Amino acid sequence: MFEATDLNRRDARTQRLVRALFLLMTVLLAAPVLLILGVLLVKGGTMLSWDFLFTEPTNGMTAGGVLPALVGTVWLVAIALLASVPVGVAAAVYLSEYAPDNVLTRVINLAIINLAGVPSIVHALFGLGAFVIFFGFGTSILAASLTLAIMTLPVVIVATREALQAVPHAFREACWNMGATRWQTIWRVVLPNAVSGILTGVILEVSRTAGETAPIMFTGAAFFLPFLPASVFDQTMAMSLHLFVIATQVPDVPEALPYGVALVLIGMVLAMNALSIGLRTWLRQKKKW
Amino acid sequence: MSAPPPHPDTAALDRRDLAWYVDKLVAVLVFVGGVSAVVFIVGIFAFVTHEGWGFVSEHFSLRGFFGSIRWAPTSTSNPTYGALALIAGTASVTGLAMLVAVPFSLGAAIYIAEFATGRTREVLKVLVEMLAAIPSVVWGFIGLSVMNPLIIDVFNVPIGLCVLNSGLILGLMAAPIMTTIAEDALKAVPDTYREAAEALGATRWQVTRRVVLPAARQGLLAAVLLGVGRGFGETMAVLMASGHAINLPTSPFDSVRALTATIAAELGETAVGSTHYQALFALGIFLFVVTFVINLSADLIVRGIRKT
């Protein structure tokens, strides 16, 4: 018969204690998300209405809605995606399907880690030096979007590479044996099986891009513009910068207004994230291999 | 062994049809895509250095830059560019953030990887991911409008925009990346290690402390490093929550100004090509180099694990 000794009991006690402590730490780490959402909802919830979303700011941005900022964010995200998704997917295809295990591949991987790790304000400096001044795009949606695209490129690359590597190698071999070229295999077999995984990454990128402020401050986003952008060479307002501006730069803003703007911004971002997480969970469940 | 005889009809085996050429073309295109990441990172360094070089070559001195706390670029009589106070600001905020984030992130990673199961685990992971998704400008706004009055009330200090405020916020911002990478590092420890220890009668905590943590320590170190890099480079939240006062902090309730925040706040007001503009790019070079070294070390540490 097994009889618990004092030592066993002490170990079990420590175990329970430690487990509870770690659970507490995890909860304390996760709780702020809900707290922040709660605070924003309580203080800014009254601002939310269709009018708020679809009218322009008035009275020196102390009243009215967020339409130009919302439209601007959509522009910025769309152009950034157009630029980064093809490059990111190509990079991931190279790393997953072509790259040999050599120094160059290591350098590429290191570059991707660093693209994600370089401070956003340094990306802003680069965008200003390269796109605004050197390539002569001026402060425009184009310059801001390209800056955002380079900054969020790692998100697409990493997600796509993971999706491609999740496709079993046997699929590729079967296709090669039919006499297909490498590209035919990738185009007809690998990519179709990875497309939803890639989509997960793209949605995550949308969420990241929409929330960024520093990279667009000096490259294309304006404090206030009374009109909507008409082309990629126009400046634009953006939700993230708009929140910064009315929270810090504009006097006499009614208290609820910045909370409302923050709520719309965080709502957009978290909705995208939830969509991405949901898609990933759904994919995992229906995975056949 | 002699060489095989030549194939009687080599021409028929030559598949240089359209598909062959497309294949070659795509191989080149995806290679370009792969190399683009390297081009971009080199480009970032090149452009930032190019714009900031005028300052580095003409006005830069080690003592003037790293040894002086006088950052007064707009002074008409005697503009000075001492970055020490800014570096101290960034260091104090990042330091406090790590003090908060490291134990909590590692604790959360251990709980998620070693203790939690099923639904709890999924929910906790999603919450951590949500934490990572909150835009930095929203964090800054929370610091400004929620934490600021809270700190003033609780600690009875005149202003709540300080090291404590931005450090806590930065800690929460850096925590998700540290938790995720630390959890990956713990998951990478083979289950056979755990099984062997459990077979000897060890409790789950004993297994974790004596077997899993030592085996994963390099990955955990890499996680902490990446968290430091994240905190070091954060801009908007620090700009809004740190008080933005040039100051060598002596207590958590002092306002400070960070390197990143200085660039964000001043770049819009400088003329392109002026010394002030170039000095801000020089701060950018410094930020780039430091984060590059941090990321490189984290990568080398992780690579070290894979080799062994």
Question: Across the interface, do A22 and B107 touch by the CB < 8 Å criterion?
Answer: yes
DSSP-assigned letters across all residues of B12-52: HH---SHHHHHHHHHHHHHHHHHHHHHHHHHHHHHHHHHHH
Residue A28: CB partners within 8 Å, gap ≥ 6?
Answer: B104
The yes-or-no verdict on residue A56 having pLDDT over 90 is: no
Q: Is residue A208 classed exposed, middle or buried when 0-12, 13-18 and 19+ CB atoms within 10 A define those classes?
A: buried
In a domain, B3, yes or no: no
CB contact under 8 A, B130 and A99: no
- Spatial distance between the Cα atoms of A102 and A111, rounded to a whole number of angstroms: 14
Using DSSP's 3-state secondary structure scheme, residue B247 falls into: coil
Residues of chain B neighbouring A129 (CB-CB closer than 8 A) = 47-48, 50-51, 281
For chain B, the domain total comes to 1
| Tokens (6 digits) for B121 | 């685990």
pLDDT at A173: 92
Q: Mutating which of B111, B126, B145, B276 best tests the A interface, going by the most A Cβ atoms within 10 A? A: B111
Instruction: Classify residue B186: in a domain, yes or no.
Output: yes
Best of B18, B26, B210 to mutate (most A CBs within 10 Å, chain A):
B26
CATH code, domain carrying B301: 1.10.3720.10
Percent of chain A scored above 70 by pLDDT?
99
Determine, for residues B124 and A30 on separate chains, whether the beta-carbon distance falls below 8 Å. Answer: yes
With beta carbons under 8 A apart, name residues in chain B contacting A98.
27, 30-31, 34
Nearest CB neighbour to A130, from listed B43, B107, B226: B43
Give the closest of A108, A114, A247 to B35, CB-based: A108
B interface mutation test: which of A9, A85, A103, A118 has the most B CBs within 10 A?
Answer: A118
Whether A257 contacts chain B with CB within 8 A: no
Residue B11 lies in a domain: no
> How high is the pLDDT of residue B1?
44
pLDDT at position A145:
96
Residue A265 contacts residue A247 (beta carbons within 8 Å): no
The pTM of this model reads 0.90
Q: Where are the domains of chain A?
A: 6-47, 50-286
A279 pLDDT more than 90 = no
The answer to whether position B152 is within a domain reads yes
Which of A22, A99, A240 has its CB closest to that of B115? Answer: A22
Q: What is the pLDDT of residues A142-196, one digit of tens each?
A: 999 999 999 999 999 999 999 999 899 999 999 999 888 899 999 999 999 898 8
Say whether residue A249 is in contact with chain B using an 8 A CB cutoff.
Answer: no
Whether A174 contacts chain B with CB within 8 A: no
How far apart CA A96 and CA A201 sit, in angstroms, is: 16
| Tens-level pLDDT at each residue, chain B (308 residues) | 455 665 556 555 666 788 888 999 999 999 999 999 999 999 999 999 999 998 988 888 888 888 888 888 888 888 888 899 999 999 999 999 999 999 999 999 999 999 988 888 888 988 898 898 999 999 999 999 999 999 999 999 998 999 999 999 999 999 999 999 999 999 999 999 999 999 998 888 999 999 999 999 999 999 999 999 999 999 999 999 998 888 888 888 999 999 999 999 999 888 888 999 999 999 999 999 999 999 999 988 887 766 55
**CATH 1.10.3720.10 is right for the domain spanning A50-286:** yes
Q: Does residue B180 fall inside a structural domain? A: yes
Question: Which stretches does DSSP call E strand in chain B?
Answer: 71-72, 80-81
CA triple B166-B168-B174, angle to 5 deg = 95
Report CB contact under 8 Å: B298, A113.
yes
Integer Cα distance of B223 and B228 in angstroms = 9
Contact indicator for A91, B34 with CB cutoff of 8 Å: yes
Q: Which domain holds residue B227?
A: 80-307
Residues in chain A within 8 Å Cβ distance of B90: none
Task: Locate the chain A residue with the closest alpha carbon to B227.
Answer: A117
Report CB contact under 8 Å: A125, B267: yes
| Interface with chain A: mutation pick from B16, B18, B30, highest number of A CBs within 10 Å | B30
